[in-house]
């Protein structure tokens, strides 16, 4: 990956960057470690954002910073993100957040609108859905105890009883071999902060153009939560794929719809 920049934003936020053009900050979903991935995970992460870069953006895949403290609020975490983005870029950026990264993106946009030009919220809503809340809480605490936990997420991916049993078994097997987070405090602080988020009352004051993209078969949330989030945002709109699940962020139609939305702001242009 010779074209990939590895760096750290002010405040200690690790990032991988690819592409050329105006800056687009991408906040990923759950990560057990607040570090830049390496090896195969890094290649997979970059592959997931290359289609956005091909649309004329310099994409920064930004993880949460290491050294979080349990008890931090999502507002505090988002505030640190906003400070890092402002210090590094010196201008409002396009923002894309998936799942947990979407929660950070929504809080950041609510509290620091001067930092964000447009925001894409993928597979996330103003609060956690019931399955997401229970599953990720239990998963994170099991991982912190060096016990398999990823299988607890299976219910968010399928309602088919046969597939559910198979998926649980596969995820348990993979999770049983680790690797375990070296610093579980980061992971727990992030999950516990997200567990307390409810931004419903804040949505009407968020005037930043926003696109909510989700799958109707994303059982971590509900279609009603996605719909309500988009409807309460003054400049929000919803794209709900009826046959898609949680991983909408790696589908061709997501890239198509996200890039079309971001281009409406006139922000996407190749650097000279």
pTM of the model: 0.94
Question: Within a domain: residue 255?
Answer: yes
Q: Domains in the chain: how many in total? A: 1
Per-residue pLDDT of the chain (272 residues; tens, 9 = 90+): 789 999 999 999 999 999 999 999 999 999 999 999 989 989 999 999 999 999 999 999 999 999 999 999 999 999 999 999 999 999 999 999 999 999 999 999 999 999 999 999 999 999 999 999 999 999 999 999 999 999 999 999 999 999 999 999 999 998 888 778 888 999 999 999 999 999 999 999 999 999 999 999 999 999 999 999 999 999 999 999 999 999 999 999 999 999 999 999 764 433 32
245 occurs within a structural domain: yes
What confidence score (pLDDT) does residue 175 get? 84
Whether 140 is covered by a domain: the verdict is: no
pLDDT at 1: 74
Question: Would you state the pLDDT for residue 269?
Answer: 38
Is residue 224 included in any domain, yes or no? yes
pLDDT of residue 266: 61
Q: What local confidence, expressed as pLDDT, does residue 272 receive?
A: 26
Between CA 181 and CA 195 the distance in angstroms is 20
Burial label for 183, CB within 10 Å (0-12, 13-18, 19+), is: middle
At 67, which CATH number? 3.40.50.1820
Q: CB 116: neighbour CB atoms within 10 A?
A: 22
The three-point CA angle 229-200-99 to 5° equals 55
In a domain, 148, yes or no: no
Residues 6+ apart with CB under 8 A from 224: none
Q: Domain span at residue 84?
A: 5-130+183-263
- Tens digit of pLDDT for each residue in 61-117? 999 999 999 999 999 999 999 999 999 999 999 999 999 999 999 999 999 999 999
Residue 212 placed within a domain: yes
Is 272 part of a structural domain of the chain? no
Do residues 62 and 77 make contact, with C-beta atoms less than 8 angstroms apart?
no
């Amino acid at each position: 990956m010779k074209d990939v920049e590895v760096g750290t934003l002010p405040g200690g936020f690790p990032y991988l960057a690819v592409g050329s053009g105006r800056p687009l900050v991408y906040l990923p979903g759950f990560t057990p470690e607040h570090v830049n991935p390496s090896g195969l995970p890094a290649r997979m992460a970059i592959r997931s954002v290359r289609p956005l870069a091909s649309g004329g953006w310099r994409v920064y895949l930004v993880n949460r910073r290491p050294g979080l403290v349990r008890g931090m609020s999502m507002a505090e975490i988002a505030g640190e993100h906003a400070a890092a983005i402002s210090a590094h870029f010196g201008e409002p950026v396009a923002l894309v957040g998936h799942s947990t990264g979407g929660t950070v993106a929504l809080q950041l946009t609510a509290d620091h609108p001067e930092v964000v030009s447009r925001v894409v919220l993928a597979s996330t809503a103003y609060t956690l859905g019931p399955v997401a809340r229970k599953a990720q809480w239990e998963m994170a605490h099991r991982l912190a105890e060096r016990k398999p936990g990823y299988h607890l997420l299976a219910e968010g991916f399928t309602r088919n009883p046969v597939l559910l049993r198979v998926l649980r078994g596969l995820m348990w097997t993979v999770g049983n071999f680790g690797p375990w987070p070296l610093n579980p405090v980061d992971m727990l602080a992030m999950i516990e902060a997200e567990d307390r988020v409810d931004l419903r009352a804040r949505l009407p004051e968020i005037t930043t153009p926003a696109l909510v993209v989700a799958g109707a078969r994303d059982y971590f949330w509900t279609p009603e939560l996605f719909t309500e989030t988009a409807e309460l945002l003054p400049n929000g709109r919803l794209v709900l794929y009826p046959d898609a699940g949680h991983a909408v962020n790696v589908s061709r139609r997501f890239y198509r719809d996200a890039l079309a939305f971001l281009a409406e702001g006139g922000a996407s242009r190749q650097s000279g």
